[in-house]
């Protein structure tokens, strides 16, 4: 998005009722956008936005960029995706060379140094995805592991080694990951009963303004329910939108699109095991959620 489109999108999000924004809900690299500074500063200075966060592989930013980053006051959560646990596994997974690996190490060290003398309230979460059999308990010593440990000591960053690898609706095959030996989770073998809970979470807005009913795994755009440049967000993500209602009704009837049928993130609305005490994500009866979304367009229209 250009800056004007981004600002318009943020205003629609605020009018929709959200006070928190995720800037990379599914795919994307913040620092690949030449105007990321202007956009984050706009969100940071918005009176009705309380918090925002994003995911990054932390390779592209420069040390100067990181100086700007730590000064952002409403940046509440930074998720760093690390691919590989050492130089060899990094290169196998990312297909990138020595320069990118060294840049990642430098950025982790610079961030650690900056956080020694600046803010300490930034939540940093690190997720490592590496070769088969690698866990948090058997990480060997390496440049990247040492840099992450230092970052964690200074910032309190959480570090996990992910054991789950999704096949992204079949776009990633066993052949693609044969060299690193990671098993893939195929959503086609997951029992699905009822609509997915993710349909009732905040939706995703794409760069061109398309609104997708799922913010986590719309691989092919099949969950697009309109465009915010044609119709307001608060009307699109509501039961006044036939396209949104159809997706929910189809899933309630056991009809899942190819995109949803292959998704390993599916969670039934009848499955209460994912309930938490986080007030931002209340667990409601389906009828109550339906009533809220039925009035959603009118609720925020004025």
Q: Which domains does the chain have, with CATH numbers?
A: 3-163 (3.80.30.20), 189-301 (no CATH)
Report pLDDT digits (tens) over 57-108. Answer: 999 999 999 999 999 999 999 999 999 999 999 999 999 999 999 999 999 9
Instruction: Decide if pLDDT at 298 tops 60.
Output: no
Backbone angles phi, psi at 298, to 5 degrees: -70, -35
What CA dihedral angle connects 183, 187, 191 and 196, to 10 degrees? Answer: 130
Predicted structure pTM score: 0.88
Q: Is the CB of residue 224 less than 8 Å from the CB of residue 257? A: no
Helix (H) or strand (E) holding 182: none
Strand partners, 128: 82, 161
Report pLDDT digits (tens) over 224-250. Answer: 999 999 999 999 999 999 999 999 999
What CA dihedral angle connects 27, 215, 48 and 7, to 10 degrees? Answer: 50
Residue 286 pLDDT: 79
Position with higher pLDDT, 34 vs 121: 34
Record the tokens describing residue 302, joined without a space: 């004025």
What whole-number percentage of the chain has pLDDT above 90? Answer: 66
């Amino acid at each position: 998005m250009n800056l004007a489109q981004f600002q318009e999108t943020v205003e629609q999000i605020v009018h929709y009722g959200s006070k928190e924004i995720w800037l990379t809900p599914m795919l994307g690299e913040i620092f690949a956008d030449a105007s990321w500074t202007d956009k984050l500063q706009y969100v940071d200075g918005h009176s009705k936005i309380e918090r925002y966060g994003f995911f990054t592989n932390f390779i592209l930013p420069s040390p100067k960029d990181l100086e700007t980053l730590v000064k952002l006051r409403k940046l509440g959560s930074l998720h760093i995706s690390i691919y590989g646990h050492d130089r060899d596994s990094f290169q196998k997974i990312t297909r990138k060379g020595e320069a990118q690996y060294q840049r990642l190490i430098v950025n982790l060290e610079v961030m650690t140094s900056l956080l020694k003398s600046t803010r300490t309230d930034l939540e940093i979460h690190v997720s490592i995805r590496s070769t088969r059999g690698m866990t948090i308990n058997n990480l060997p010593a390496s440049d990247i592991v040492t840099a992450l440990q230092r970052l964690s000591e200074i910032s309190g960053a959480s570090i996990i080694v992910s054991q789950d690898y999704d096949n992204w609706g079949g776009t990633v095959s066993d052949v693609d990951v044969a060299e690193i030996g990671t098993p893939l989770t195929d959503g086609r073998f997951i029992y699905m009963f009822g609509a997915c809970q993710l349909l009732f979470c905040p939706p995703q807005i794409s760069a061109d303004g398309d609104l997708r009913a799922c913010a986590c795994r719309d691989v092919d755009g099949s969950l697009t329910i309109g465009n915010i440049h044609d119709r307001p967000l608060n009307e699109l993500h509501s039961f006044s939108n036939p396209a949104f209602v159809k997706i929910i009704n189809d899933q309630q009837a056991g009809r899942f699109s190819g995109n949803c049928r292959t998704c390993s993130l599916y969670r039934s609305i009848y499955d209460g095991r994912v309930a938490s005490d986080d007030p931002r994500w209340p667990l409601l009866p389906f009828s109550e959620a339906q009533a809220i979304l039925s009035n959603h367009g009118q609720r925020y229209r004025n």
